[in-house]
Structure 1
Amino acid sequence: MPRFLYSLIFTLCLPLILARLLYRAWRAPAYARRWRERFALSGDLRAGGIWVHAVSVGESIAAAPMVRELRKRHPELPVTITCMTPTGSEQIRKLFGDEVGHAYLPYDLPWLQRRLIRRLRPRISIIMETELWPNLVAECGRAGVPVVLANARLSERSARGYQRVSGLVRPMFAALDWVAAQTAAEAERFLMLGVRQTALTVTGSIKFDLKPGAELLATAAQWRAQWGERPVWIAASTHSGEDEVVLAAHRQVLQQHPDALLILVPRHPERFDAVARQIEGAGLSMVRRSAGNMPTSSDLVLLGDTMGELMQFYACADVAFVGGSLIPGGGHNYLEPAALGLPVLSGPHRFNFAEISELLERAGALVEVADAQGMAEQVNGWLSDRPSARVAGEAGRVVVEANQGALERLLQGIARRL
């Protein structure tokens, strides 16, 4: 009954959902394209294989090593990846090109999910992290398709939200064939929401299985050679309300390090132009990565307004601030800069990566800051004391390497359910 009411309300709200899609298309034109896929009427679907759902950019990047290994170990099974956002779609095509099928996930209505599954005929459905939809899970169960929640994470905040609609979500969680949880704390939350003990394993986070490639490091070295010996710090995946703080901090950093370069990478592409105007308004000379130019000695900010280059930007920096954490966004992936040996800064809102950020903090690899002054002081400290920065960065790298192996455990669990 709760799922019937959910589907009924979802159907009644479709006009509002479409109106919201139109609004988003006005701000980001990519949302206006490929509407038929939102109703499971089109898309590049490779039938009879492995279906991976990764909601957006972060999940697509996290899924990439898993997908590559699945294709290597099961070459006879085609892979199709679905997502929800244009940026996620762009990331998937950048990672895999035409090697995998790709489409948007349709709206979570029974007949739309049924249509997708009928066209896709998957051997298994692998959902990344926590992108669960009641009708998607129910229709997979109806069709006999095993559902795996891979690299599963569930913050206390999200768990409380699910508990408020427990009548709807408990059957969904109970129907999952396997949950590969990142941590023991998250496993407990999944159990409280109805996941069966026999369907739950703590595998760790596959985000630890991150190995920066030699090509990425070589390109970073080339970029830094062009920039000279100047110090470089990065503010990555920033949200509205954080850029102002970062720019104020950079102005303070420049007082102590006049040649310092800030790489500023907003989280969402629709904000690129607005952030560029903020940089100009702050009186800081800037070069945009999308223009194809490298910063000169007079440029104080490099705006990372491209997609899929975040790791490249990290590899060029000496210190990293990870955004989504000064505002109540929960933070983003702290392991990317840590894997590159960078000392990491975060705001106080880390609930999306609580256990990971605490691991790094205990190791001395991550420092929490709350405002521009605190950020500037820590950046200046690490830029002035390079040995101390190296110690902090190496501590983070050790944490990453010590926790690797989750990907192999996940792949073995998937193989048993194929």
Structure 2
Amino acid sequence: MGFIYNIGIAVAGFGLKTTSFFNEKIKKGVVGRKNTFSILQKNLNPTNKTLWFHCASLGEYEQGLPVFKVLRNHYKNHKIVLSFFSPSGYEIRKNSPIADVVVYLPLDTKNNAQQFLNLVNPELTVFVKYEIWPNFLNELKSRKLKAILISASFRKNQSFFKFYGSEVRDALFAFEHIFTQNETSKKLLESINYNNVTVSGDTRFDRVSSQLDIDNTLNFIETFKQQKLCIVAGSTWPEDENLLINFINNEASKEVKFIIAPHNIKPSQIKNIQEKLNVESVLFSKKEHKQLEAVQVFIVDTIGILSKIYSYANIAYVGGALGTTGLHNTLEPAVFGVPIIIGNHHEKFPEAQQMIDNKGMFSISNQTEFNTILNELIENSEKRQLSGKNNSDYISKNKGAVNTIITYLGL
């Protein structure tokens, strides 16, 4: 790997250690990476056959999960190593049932890559979406170990396609095959003479579709909702919550119910939401012995149940795109056939623009626009139902990525 890249990794490592003194999330990653090799040594031995799945964070894990499940079921006698770079993935999925060992990925140095692969020696490696770590990938290539990249999404402005991007560009050739989400990504790869590429689509469509096959019943939500129209706001940030609170306080009918599931569930943030509301609200954590049917706003101060809660939505709002944090998962509510409102910063999320074009999703940039479209969807049941159907049809149309990948692997 190039001298400049390796210097950059060293600087990044130093920066993470320094920042960890002031940031608890980064500290978890720094400490966790120190334990990676001891965890692998404890749980693996040279006779084990292994697979290695790597994800940047929780979103990529959920994206790769449909493929991981098939591989887990097929390779019953293999040990599966699952790695994350971000604490957001590791801390939530460190006990994932699809893996035998879950670790933080060490920083991308040549020594770390060699030591990691000496311990894991995977028969198959699966990276998800955009995780490109040149030293690890080049080490896989030099050992002739099979690796694929799934649900890949590329943009023209990325370094792979620039004159200065040779180091990261060369790392792509460590993958035996790349499965892209769209034709644009395929053409970008072909422009750098990478031709082992298939447009499979996005495995997230398969992932969210599986939500329809499970029991999504939540008795406490049924008690809260009754037979009233319900708006579910998922993965919200303060700028999203301000819109919702203003609408609830000044525009909303008492006959409309609201469920707010903030991205940040720290007590201070939850308290801030409750204090700003002029109507009665209840927290998930304090719902017992409460008259839920009499409350207008339900605040979800826990994780892991939002995908089920979306099944109760008549209208959904998905946070992250009103600010700069990034749009959260819009496919989760779409699969249940509900119209969706988002913020206006969704440029990096092609599925959002596609649903907007299909008239199932609506992008807003301020309170006035939010109030207008939400009132219209509340009052116009025909538009609400048609928009929702457009979204569920969109999900159904785009399923099938998992079958394409598994067929290639010969399973």
Residues 228-274 of structure 1 show CA distances to partners (whole Å, capped at 9, x for unaligned) of 223221222233533323332333442xx22433322233x4x5334
Residues 134 and 35 (structure 1), Cα distance of their counterparts in 2 relative to 1, 3 Å cut: closer
Over aligned residues, Cα RMSD in angstroms?
A: 2.8
| Superposed displacement of residue 8, structure 1 | 2.3
- The answer to whether the aligner puts 1:276 opposite 2:252 as a matched pair is no
Q: Name structure 2 gaps, 5 residues minimum.
A: none
Counterpart for residue 168 of structure 1 = 167
Structure 1 residues 14-413: aligned runs within 5 Å: 14-25=13-24, 31=29, 34-37=32-35, 40-43=37-40, 47-93=48-94, 96-97=96-97, 100-156=100-156, 159=158, 163=162, 165-192=164-191, 194=192, 196-197=194-195, 199-209=196-206, 210-217=209-216, 219-220=217-218, 223-254=221-252, 257-267=253-263, 269=264, 272-284=266-278, 285-291=280-286, 293=288, 296-354=292-350, 356-413=351-408
More moved, 223-232 vs 61-70: 223-232
| Superposed displacement of residue 331, structure 1 | 1.9
| Cα distance in 2, alignment partners of residues 124 and 288 from structure 1 | 44
Residue type of the alignment partner of 2:197: L
CA contact (8 A) 2:33 2:105 kept: no
| Superposed displacement of residue 80, structure 1 | 1.7
Residues 107-134 of structure 1 show CA distances to partners (whole Å, capped at 9, x for unaligned) of 1111112211111110111111112112
Q: Percent identity?
A: 18
| Superposed displacement of residue 310, structure 1 | 2.1
| Superposed displacement of residue 29, structure 1 | 7.6
The alignment partner of 1:229 has SS state of coil
Residues 180-212 of structure 1 show CA distances to partners (whole Å, capped at 9, x for unaligned) of 0000012223334x3611x11111111111222
Residue type of the alignment partner of 1:184: E
| Cα distance in 1, alignment partners of residues 126 and 110 from structure 2 | 19
| Superposed displacement of residue 99, structure 1 | 5.1
CA contact (8 A) 2:83 2:103 kept: yes
| Cα distance in 2, alignment partners of residues 143 and 166 from structure 1 | 24
Residues 138 and 397 (structure 1), Cα distance of their counterparts in 2 relative to 1, 3 Å cut: same
| Superposed displacement of residue 299, structure 1 | 3.6
| Cα distance in 2, alignment partners of residues 168 and 162 from structure 1 | 11
Q: Name structure 1 gaps, 5 residues minimum.
A: none
CA contact (8 A) 1:238 1:265 kept: yes
The alignment partner of 2:70 has SS state of helix
Counterpart for residue 9 of structure 1 = 8
The alignment partner of 2:362 has SS state of strand
Residues 45 and 359 (structure 1), Cα distance of their counterparts in 2 relative to 1, 3 Å cut: farther
Residues 353 and 125 (structure 1), Cα distance of their counterparts in 2 relative to 1, 3 Å cut: same
Residue type of the alignment partner of 2:240: E
| Superposed displacement of residue 298, structure 1 | 4.8
| Superposed displacement of residue 162, structure 1 | 6.5
| Cα distance in 1, alignment partners of residues 73 and 26 from structure 2 | 36
| Superposed displacement of residue 81, structure 1 | 1.2
CA contact (8 A) 1:91 1:308 kept: no
| Cα distance in 2, alignment partners of residues 14 and 367 from structure 1 | 41
CA contact (8 A) 2:81 2:99 kept: no
The alignment partner of 1:34 has SS state of helix
Residue type of the alignment partner of 1:358: Q
